[in-house]
Amino acid sequence: MPPRAVVRNHYRGLVLTVISMTGRLLLAHWPALLAWFLAGILVRYLVIELAGFVGAFSALGGQLLLPLAILARLVSFVAMFLVLRDGMARLGTIAVLPRDALARRRAFVDAVLGGILPFFAFYAAWGYLRDDWFAYLARGLEVQQGIIFGSMLSGEAVSTEGTLDQLVFEPATIALIVVAFVGRWAWNRYRDRLPKWSAIGAVYLEAIWVFLTVILISQALGWVSEWVQSRQAMVWLADIRTWVTTQVEPIAWVWEGVEWLLGEAGGIILLPLAWLTIAGVVYGQAVAPQAPRLGGALVDRARGRFSSLPEALRRRLGDLWWELASRFRPIGRAVVLMWRAGPVLVGGYVLLYTIVLGFEQMLRFWITRLIGPQDFYAFWTVADTVVLLLVPLIVEPLRVTLVASAYDATLARLVPTSVPDSSGLDEQPGEPGKRLGRDELDGERPGGVERDEERDGDREGVGPGPGA
């Protein structure tokens, strides 16, 4: 068989494996997936209600509680991903599922800590953070209206200054970020000497500094965008575009088509890749020792120059680099793994994810048609939340199992062919029967950096044994 046909059959088999594994995992674990999803929604709602109530009296208190709403969703999704681990063949081959309760608890904490940064960034980029913020403001304003009405009846003066304010760049906010980051670093350094319950505080500190940083970065990007849009050069570009498109109509069609394509690319391509990256971060805590690494002449030359530095300097730079990059390294590993998986597998996964999105929209359509026309105030204002909740109850477990199955398929490049697999899909494309060499794995690093990372990895609980 020609090599190209071998590659085509290999990836076709992987996509079919993703479909079959999605169905198998969904049938085996849907009650647990549903329970964790409902728990995340319920806790998020309760936290937003509490944050809005506290925010009506103190903006700082409300905004310190609000990250817990996002954290509740993250914990529920991490639990949903980890529930599926026992049915993921390749992941189970690379990282054995931890058996004792201590290892499982440690793996769960590591998965949550590793997922906070990418999940919060994803949460903000897709507008979910804005929805939570508006819900928080609505609850806070409702409480304040009750307070003001009560003050009018009693004749007492009530001040709402310093309540429900949005965070801005000010010394108190920056100091809070620094304190939370340092506290998280201290826990990471001394976690073995601290009680087990201190992990809850570490997760909260990580969520606080990431949440505040994401908020401030979003504000900064908004200011930059407003400044750019207000420049005279942007007005000239808009005028040029209007003149060109009116003079040459085909250019207007192309321009609008490009704008439409770029706008749709976020939901069609970036959204499924973002979910796959989050799954890679959650599961990547287990496969870190076998994760693929970037290579090439530039990378090898940089490693060689780093090895030529004095050992003491290498150690200090290695410690500093580890502290700065440890939160981004799982994201990088997940992206590299997707890159190694190839465009056919990733494209097939994106297509399957798009089908799930279409199924979600179809469910919304048919549920509303099945209920039929109802009075808005008598029915929809009361039952809309329960009715529309049926859609995510069906779609979210399907979405998570699809993402987990796709991630397991990307591990085909890390699993040797000696592992029993009825599909025979663990062979490299075009090279049947060839096992992966050490250069395909996350091998040695120059100088003392490897020793530093291994030492810190052991302290973080990221090792080949317990996994995530």
| pLDDT averaged over every residue in the chain | 77
pLDDT tens for 414-446 read 665 444 443 333 333 333 333 333 333 343 333
What per-residue confidence (pLDDT) applies to 321? 63
In a domain? residue 43: yes
Q: What is the mean pLDDT of residues 91-115?
A: 83
In a domain? residue 467: no
pLDDT beyond 70 at 454: no
In a domain? residue 159: yes
In a domain? residue 466: no
Q: What is the mean pLDDT of residues 321-331?
A: 67
What per-residue confidence (pLDDT) applies to 338? 81
pLDDT band at 4 (very low <50, low <70, confident <90, very high): low
pLDDT beyond 60 at 164: yes
- pTM of the prediction? 0.74
pLDDT tens for 344-355 read 888 889 999 999
Looking at per-residue pLDDT, the higher value among 177 and 436 belongs to 177
pLDDT beyond 50 at 134: yes
Looking at per-residue pLDDT, the higher value among 106 and 23 belongs to 23
pLDDT tens for 47-62 read 999 999 998 888 888 8
pLDDT beyond 70 at 360: yes
What per-residue confidence (pLDDT) applies to 420? 41
Q: What is the mean pLDDT of residues 5-32?
A: 81
Looking at per-residue pLDDT, the higher value among 452 and 159 belongs to 159
What per-residue confidence (pLDDT) applies to 461? 39
Q: How many independent structural domains does the chain possess?
A: 1
Looking at per-residue pLDDT, the higher value among 363 and 93 belongs to 363
Taking CA atoms, 365 is separated from 358, 377, 409, in Å, by 11, 20, 32
In a domain? residue 465: no
In a domain? residue 468: no
Rg over alpha carbons for the chain, rounded to the nearest Å, is 25
Q: What is the mean pLDDT of residues 132-153?
A: 87
pLDDT beyond 80 at 163: no
pLDDT beyond 90 at 34: yes
User: What domain range includes position 263?
Assistant: 3-460
What per-residue confidence (pLDDT) applies to 83? 92
What per-residue confidence (pLDDT) applies to 453? 39
In a domain? residue 437: yes
pLDDT tens for 275-311 read 988 998 888 765 554 444 555 566 667 667 667 777 7
- Max mean pLDDT among 34-48, 297-311, 374-388 falls in 34-48
Q: What is the mean pLDDT of residues 253-259?
A: 73
In a domain? residue 307: yes
Ranges 199-203, 260-264, 335-339: which has the least confidence: 260-264
Ranges 16-30, 62-76, 241-255: which has the least confidence: 241-255
Long-range contacts (CB closer than 8 Å, 24 or more residues apart) made by 314-322 = 314/446, 314/447, 314/448, 314/449, 315/448, 315/452, 317/449, 318/447, 318/448, 318/449, 318/452, 318/453, 319/452, 321/449, 322/449, 322/452, 322/453, 322/456
Q: What is the mean pLDDT of residues 368-378?
A: 81
Looking at per-residue pLDDT, the higher value among 413 and 187 belongs to 187
pLDDT beyond 90 at 147: no
Q: What is the mean pLDDT of residues 187-207?
A: 88
pLDDT beyond 80 at 369: yes
Q: d(Cα 463, Cα 290) in Å, to the nearest integer?
A: 10
What per-residue confidence (pLDDT) applies to 456? 43
pLDDT band at 45 (very low <50, low <70, confident <90, very high): very high
What per-residue confidence (pLDDT) applies to 24? 94
pLDDT band at 316 (very low <50, low <70, confident <90, very high): low
Q: Are 95 and 36 in contact (CB under 8 A)?
A: no
pLDDT tens for 224-248 read 877 877 777 777 777 777 777 677 6
Q: What is the mean pLDDT of residues 355-375?
A: 88
What per-residue confidence (pLDDT) applies to 76? 95
Looking at per-residue pLDDT, the higher value among 240 and 42 belongs to 42
